[in-house]
Structure 1
Amino acid sequence: MVVNNLEQGFFAIGIQNGKTPENLGVLWRSAQNLGASFIFTIGNRYSKQASDTHKAVGAMPYFHYDTFDDFYAHLPKSALLIGVELTEDAEPLETFKHPRRGVYLLGAEDHGLSNQAIKKSHKLIKFSSALSLNVSVAGSIVMYDRNTKGTVVY
């Protein structure tokens, strides 16, 4: 089998200023099941997740960044940062074309993404719902959508 490195993709998912360790653990478990290459947190850090029953944090790379600037400085080359946020100009997930190399960033349910994260995101996506979703549910839906649709070259 010949592998074309330019056609290979990866994705990662993480939370900025996550509110509860349970949400983080559920997101990690979904990330492992849905093929994420790595997971990350920005801001709050939790050492143990009771809801990470598959021990995803031990099965894939986990990165923690104290600040958004630190995270952004370590964004993988050629990866697009995709913010998940209910903003006026965010693309609906239903029509969004996922990039081959994407890093998805979610905000905590009570504050969402920081203004800095919104401005620095290459793409913003949202759900067609009137209210925000639980962060681990939203992240799981994004990853499932990516797996179902596949990716395109950006």
Structure 2
Amino acid sequence: MTQQETAPAGPTEWTVPGQVGVGPWPGGPAAWPDDERYDPDLLEHGDRRNVVDAYRYWRRDAVAADLAARAHPFHVGIENFGHDHNIGTVVRTANAFAAAGVHIVGRRRWNRRGAMVTDRYQQIHHHAEVAGLVRFATEHRLAVVAVDNTPGAVPLETARLPRRCVLLFGQEGPGLTDEARAAASLVCSIAQFGSTRSINAGVAAGIAMHAWIRVHADLVKAW
């Protein structure tokens, strides 16, 4: 059975103009699906969360478990030594592209507003230092790919990203630390054509993740 076939038979936000999310399951409790993935409270009162229709009415842990089972074999890492406000955007985008995990290096606290609650479903790891992320990558056979516009970097547009990898980004402004660049087996840059020296770290992460998707993802499985 495909993921699309598990979508509820009730209303969707795409068929009810102006509605955010969906209302109670049609037909009342007698019509509720006999499936432990569904949350009785959501079935009764409706589901207004920011999730695709296939996950409507599902319990939070059921959504997280299904995402983990469907995850792509790439991870995303971002340094947080200066409390970067782009991390929420990185987490949300990683969720959209089904990254296996997001790794925050440095400060544990980060602004979750930009994540739009996707951090509830996404595997998130914390490492106090870059060395911790490197150990994780080694244990899980993941190549570390640094994304930073530095001399000698390979253009992302022509690079062949490894299937199993961690895409590692620096914080806004200073970019990646020397330790992070030294740990990478590949350093990629994103082509720019304007006057600015750098682009937003959240945007850069989205560009790099999509570059991985274009090479390795099975697009038949996309929503």
Distance 2:131 2:95 in 1: 26
**CA deviation after TM superposition for structure 1 residue 72, in Å:** 1.3
Distance 2:150 2:110 in 1: 31
Match of residue 100, structure 1, among 163, 166, 172:
163
Give yes or no for the alignment of 1:127 onto 2:198: no
Superposition misfits of 4+ residues, deviation over 3 angstroms: 18-22
Matched with 1:149 is: 215
Matched with 1:74 is: 136
Checking the alignment, whether the CA contact within 8 Å between 1:18 and 1:41 is kept in structure 2 is no
Residues matched between the structures, number: 143
Structure number with the higher strand fraction is: 1
Matched with 1:28 is: 91
Distance 2:161 2:127 in 1: 24
> How much is the aligned-residue C-alpha RMSD, in angstroms?
1.9
SS in 2 for 1:37: strand
**CA deviation after TM superposition for structure 1 residue 50, in Å:** 1.0
Q: Tell me the TM-score normalized by structure 2.
A: 0.59
Identity level (%): 24
Structure number with the higher helix fraction is: 2
- AA in 2 matched with 1:146: W
- Label 1:45 to 1:80 Cα distance change in 2 as closer, same or farther (>3 A): same
Post-superposition Cα deviations, 1:125-146, rounded to whole Å, max 9, x if no partner, equal 0011262111100000001111
**CA deviation after TM superposition for structure 1 residue 150, in Å:** 2.3
Distance 1:23 1:125 in 2: 19
Distance 1:47 1:112 in 2: 17
Greater mean alpha carbon deviation, residues 132-141 or residues 110-119: 110-119
List aligned pairs for 1:42-121, cutoff 5 A: 42-46=105-109, 48-53=111-116, 55-75=117-137, 76-121=139-184
Checking the alignment, whether the CA contact within 8 Å between 1:34 and 1:143 is kept in structure 2 is yes
SS in 2 for 1:88: coil
Matched with 1:5 is: none
Checking the alignment, whether the CA contact within 8 Å between 1:21 and 1:46 is kept in structure 2 is no
- Label 1:133 to 1:19 Cα distance change in 2 as closer, same or farther (>3 A): farther
